[in-house]
Chain A
Amino acid sequence: MKLNRRLFMGGVAAGAAAATLATPAAHASNQGKPKVVVIGGGAGGATAARYVAKDSKGEIDVTLIEPTRSYYTCFFSNLYIGGFRELNSIAHSYGTLASEYGVNVVHDWAVGIDRAARTVTLAGGATLSYDRLILSPGIDFVEGAVDGWDVSHQNAMPHAYKAGSQSELLKAQIEAMPEGGTFAMVAPPNPFRCPPGPYERISMVAHVLKAKNPTAKIIVADPKDKFSKMALFQEGWGLHYDGMIDWIGPDFGGGDVSVNPDAMTLTIDGEETKVDVCNVIPAMKAGRICEIAGITDGNWAPVNPHTMQSRMDENIHVLGDASQQGDMPKSGFAANSQAKVAAMAVRSALTGSKLFPAKFTNTCWSLIDSDDGVKVGASYEATDEKIAKVDGFISQTGEDAELRKTTYEESIGWYAGITSDMFG
């Protein structure tokens, strides 16, 4: 279902000219194509752009706004830190979306949204009009969430929770740790992107240190008393990295933390520790553009589960981490799943295509050590109130090595599958 290559040189200008059109129906009478603008080219946005363009067969103009030319997936970035993947193997470009699907890819920041006029303003100065806007901006960090840290400290104390240069930095710091040094992580409170992510990362850091620096220590300060796949991770840590990882939950002050990026110290429950690497993963909120658009309630953007439409503006759909939808975790798989529901709803609204009932799925694989993969997943349906969990499964403790290896191999197959589903 590949579209012929189409030129979109005039797309921005044509979009601006259409800004005064009031409703999709007006397009038909004016021979203009309906316009969809997607902000954010990650798991949600790239999938949505691809599906709207692919399935509308040229009836809808799709513009994707994404600042970076190379997108690094957050999923599998821990495997890069652990040495299981090259960084370039998790990098994706937007060439296929443009050439095969006719998506107009604009590398710029969206800085303003005028909901009344239905326009998006870019940092470069351009203004794009839309009939439907899809927001998939991912996460930003809550200011002041970790005492002593703000984004200006992300070089001294990386978050590495947006993949790419931050992942490279964290990996380099781990590899440069002195013998017997200390790696610390400040884990985030719920809800946050990729619930098993911090703990897979700890596993990957331990994997690297076990080989290169076996007397090194790992401290995790965690404000949560339980976390995703906890039993599986703790079993794996005991099995593979016995004695290396010290997980400090809220009962032992894991929620009472401050950092000093200049002195490279971490203070837990009043007790200061000198650390060599400090991975600060602060509390999260929807990408800032959601606040700018005025569609957030608290930290996140609430949506209608049937269509992923904002509860505050039916011309805007919000996907993935930024959305507040109910039971689904904030994951790349979930964003991809939600994007397909939104793409269908957008096409239906703009071109009258069939609207089928929303279905959602998620599976999260995590790697604990070489060939020791685990997974958790669930299926979901839309109710009027929320995206509600229907059924689920999780890997079991004590599984044999063969099954864990198969699970890891499955995750590699999944990565290839979902990234081609996102980027074409």
Chain B
Amino acid sequence: MGWNRHITLSLVALFATASPSLSNEIGDADKGAAVFKECSSCHSVGQGAKNRVGPHLNGIFGRRAAGLDGFRYSNGLTRMGKDGLVWDFDLLDRYVENPKAFASDTRMAYKGLKDAGQRADLLAYLRRYSDDPGNIPEAAPTMAGTDHSVDAAILAIQGDPEYGEYLSSECTSCHQLSGDNDGIPGIIGWPAEDFVVAMHAYKDKFRPHPVMQMMAGRLSNEEIAALAAYFEVAGP
């Protein structure tokens, strides 16, 4: 297992732009086994692994998000699974880096692993328990990761709720102010920070969904803050 490439997310983006063919190296699986100890209070992997607080991770590479029968996933991951999200290196890397940014309502109560090298080691370790370890599924170029962590200065922007209310009329063509969750998720009453992180994750194409990527893609930082300020206090 001489895989030994430590990559950062921004490198993934660069590679994906330049050429879709990435090397098959991930990281050091033996080191990853040590990193996994942090996960093992909730997740099991390997022979006899079963669902515990979190789903078992055998075969996680190539599995559809929220893809295990009998495990109760968050609505967010369930929706992503229905939208066609299949876990590959790039997506797992983003999810592990910042679970809440990837799926606001994820039940994974884990703050995220910031060290790209450690994530690569961890994923190399998990890769041992998925099919065909030599053939690592790569992300499609359109799913290329960008550094999604939202800058503190952006999070600190005080949004103008009046502007947010005007902008929100674009949202309410689909998202109901009643908070109804059928078919399209309700977004009223979201904590502003979660809202900002989620919208930037779409804007950066970190979260997959074509409509939301388009909607968020044309919003400025101030506009996202304004919407967050409005929706935080909007009620049915």
Interface residues of chain A, those whose CB is within 8 Å of chain B, are: 51, 55, 333, 336-337, 340, 344, 354, 356, 359, 361, 363, 375, 377-379, 381, 390-393, 399-400, 402-403, 405-406, 409-414, 416-418, 420-421
Contact = CB atoms under 8 A, between A and B. Distances in A.
Nearest to B81: A402
B79 interface: yes
Contact of A416 (B82, B183, B217): B183
Interface string B139-176: 00000000000000000000000110111011011111
B64 to A, nearest CB: 8
A52 B207 CA distance: 35
Contacts of A402: 81-82, 84
Contacts of A416: 176, 180, 182-183
Contacts of B79: 406
B167 A359 contact: yes
Contacts of A417: 172-176, 180, 184
B166 A337 contact: no
Contacts of B81: 402
B53 interface: no
B163 A356 contact: yes
Contacts of A412: 182-183
11 contacts: A51-B169, A333-B173, A359-B170, A379-B218, A393-B210, A402-B82, A414-B184, A417-B172, A418-B173, A420-B178, A421-B172
A405 B82 CA distance: 8
Contact of B182 (A359, A400, A413): A413
Given A402-B84, A421-B172, 20 more contacts: A333-B173, A354-B162, A354-B166, A356-B167, A359-B167, A361-B170, A391-B217, A392-B214, A405-B82, A406-B82, A412-B182, A413-B180, A413-B184, A414-B174, A414-B183, A414-B184, A417-B173, A417-B175, A417-B180, A418-B174
Given A403-B84, A411-B183, A420 B214 contact: no
Nearest to A409: B183
Contacts, number: 91
Contacts of A361: 170, 173, 215
Interface of B: 79, 81-84, 162-163, 165-167, 169-170, 172-178, 180, 182-184, 210-211, 213-215, 217-218
A340 B169 contact: yes
Contacts of A410: 183-184
B73 to A, nearest CB: 15
Chain A contact surface mostly = helix
A318 to B, nearest CB: 19
B188 to A, nearest CB: 12
Contacts of B163: 354, 356
A420 B182 CA distance: 14
A374 to B, nearest CB: 12
A416 B184 CA distance: 10
A245 B55 CA distance: 47
A196 to B, nearest CB: 16
Contact of B211 (A51, A377, A381): A377
A403 B82 contact: yes
B221 to A, nearest CB: 15
Contacts of B173: 333, 336-337, 361, 414, 417-418, 421
Q: Which 10 pairs from chain A and chain B are nearest by CB?
A: A413-B183, A413-B184, A393-B210, A406-B82, A340-B169, A409-B183, A417-B176, A403-B84, A412-B183, A417-B174
A409 B210 CA distance: 16
A103 to B, nearest CB: 17
Nearest to A392: B214
Contacts of B175: 417
A406 B83 contact: yes
A375 B209 CA distance: 12
Contacts of A400: 84
B169 A413 contact: no
Contacts of A409: 182-183
Nearest to B168: A340
Contacts of A55: 165
Contacts of A393: 210-211, 213-214
Nearest to B172: A421
Nearest to B175: A417
A379 B211 CA distance: 9
Contacts of A399: 84
Contacts of B172: 417, 421
A340 B180 CA distance: 22
A337 B84 contact: no
B214 A377 contact: yes
Which of A356, A363, A390, A413 has the most B CB atoms < 10 Å from its CB?
Answer: A413
A356 B222 CA distance: 13
Most chain A CB neighbours (cut-off 10 Å) among B166, B173, B177:
B173
A418 B81 CA distance: 25
B215 A379 contact: yes
B82 to A, nearest CB: 4
A344 B170 CA distance: 13
A240 B210 CA distance: 26
Nearest to A340: B169
A390 B218 contact: yes
A363 B182 CA distance: 18
B214 A391 contact: yes
Nearest to A380: B218
Contacts of B162: 354
A259 B88 CA distance: 57
Contacts of A378: 214
A363 B184 contact: no
